[in-house]
Structure 1
């Protein structure tokens, strides 16, 4: 599917990966319908998208957990552009903390946004795409959907659920004989976005992006690639592929190695943080941004290699210890 002239709906478009996806499609002449909760940030990214020649961009403030709001978003896209070619669900929230320390309402909110939000999107978009005979639904999940992660259980659970949901959608479309409509799941590792600055925190520890950290533009290219050549799942980056391989051949050792890595590198050593609901229930103020300074372009290659090598070595060591028992 060529990207020029496509009508693309993007949720979570005000920040991070969603914003990068919007700008990537804008540079290639797509018509955009941008959705998120924060109106100011949506307007800002729409203005930036419109600076690219031929790009039309409209905004629709939307809470994806609200089924009626997502239906209204789909109707707005059809009213403005007559169709929906691509729907990218990139809206996501998280809460850090031990299972016993995270309030049930926080867990429910994460699942409502990260999972039910994608269910709402599928229910709104797929009937349009089925009637058109073509379309691509892209859900941004995470490599954490392949394994576990301590102190981030709600988010990790939501990404496992999203992979399962997309697999079910593909099966249903196949059984219906629908050939031109595709469901793609994109699995990035850690990405340099404001996500970690605004995340809900019940851990008492200061959260940071866990290396290796990839750019949101890298994920946006993966999303575009999934649209151009649809595949069931697209893993982003060497770190993502390392996790996928380890999850397939040594899931237990991977889990043990990753647990140690999360505990040591996903939190600032000695740093404390107050209890916060972050962006679970309200969007951050301001115009938003794509990156948040976690990437450090000059150090990326070395940090990526170090992170992947360390994870691989820890997993291999755990495998050896398991075999000796």
Structure 2
């Protein structure tokens, strides 16, 4: 199936940009959404370089109540339909619940929770009228566990997961409409280095670190073959961590703090900063973060894997 209309929210960086270029390689018609006009221009060039059928961009902050309605109206005016919507927009913050500024904590939660609600309320009526279409929400391992110093992000992802699971239940009456969830672990994207940070330490993605192309491949597979009733995990450690959180809570709580300090922070001191929570940082938006990037052979292999399984 080629030539679908695919909307990617959060398309200017990380998983969103990786997903956008993966869909572009399949000659889909893309609408790229981000807060940053500058970063969207770079994303548009990257997608056109993959040979996509059509690329449009829309500057919008999905956390704003009317933004999703404007994006959907633009897509329908240009294409007349919506086939796939991928919601990857998110922001991250480090620091304890007590010490983090309230406006930063609230903004992190709003992007994931209210942003998902705004997008669903704008998109699902269109999919219902079409009696077909897929909404894919990119959640996180932290939508199933908690970690010290990441309470804001965990709250945002637990809330988002609850919204998405509820939407899965509420769309059961329309067999052609699908709400899907992707839950990756640590991914090599710029989000860690753009995050708000009130922990006092520089941060990094904890091992094992996935390539964003691995997550984008899972997103493309879901768009081709939606899975309504499950959250698709991406990452070898996710099931083990979730099992420990649920089945061995005392041991988990005893170990998670020291392991977080070892795996997710460095010895370097860091000044408190709101990062890109309130404003985008277009100069730092790209697919990969600072973690060693995958080899070109790995990237080509993952893209081939994503598209080789597609059904005409």
Alpha-carbon distance in structure 2 between the residues aligned to 1:255 and 1:84: 44
Q: Look up the match of 2:278.
A: 281
CA distance in 2, matches of 1:109, 1:282: 11
Alignment gaps of 5+ in structure 1? 302-325
Runs of at least 5 residues in structure 2 that lack an aligned partner in the other structure: 299-312
Match of 1:36 among 13, 34, 37: 34
**Contact conserved, 2:21 with 2:46, CA < 8 A, in 1?**
yes
Higher fraction of helix? 1
Cα distance in structure 2, aligned partners of 1:241 and 1:221: 19
Match of 1:67 in 2: 65
RMSD: 1.7
1:228 is the counterpart of 2:224: yes
The reply to whether residue 219 of structure 1 matches residue 200 of structure 2 is no
When normalised by structure 1's length, the TM-score is 0.86
Show the counterpart of 1:98: 96
1:287, distance to aligned residue in structure 2 (A): 7.1
Q: 1:274 to 1:170 in 2, by over 3 A?
A: same
Matches for 1:260-275 after TM superposition, within 5 Å: 260-269=258-267, 271-275=268-272
Answer yes or no: is the 8 Å Cα contact 1:146–1:243 preserved in 2: no
Match of 2:156 among 129, 141, 158: 158
Question: 2-side partners of 1:192 and 1:281: how far apart?
Answer: 22
Aligned to 2:310: none
Per the alignment, residue 204 of structure 2 pairs with: 208
Separation in 1 of the partners of 2:14 and 2:209?
13
Cα distance, 1:258 vs structure 2: 2.9
Partners of 1:99 and 1:78 in 2: CA distance: 41
Give the deviation of 1:47 after TM superposition: 1.2
> Quick check: 18-27 or 285-294, which moved more?
285-294
What's the CA shift for 1:25?
0.3
Which one has the largest radius of gyration?
1
Aligned partners of 1:261, 1:237: CA distance in 2, in Å? 18
How many residues are paired up?
Answer: 294
Is 1:93–1:199's contact at 8 Å kept on the other side of the alignment?
A: yes
Residues 40 and 287, structure 1, Cα contact 8 Å, conserved in 2 = no
**Equivalent residues of 2:110, 2:156 under 8 A apart:** no
Among 138, 141, 145, which residue is 2:139 paired with?
141
Following superposition, the deviation at residue 296 of structure 1 comes to 4.6
Runs of 4+ in 1 over 4 A off after TM superposition: none
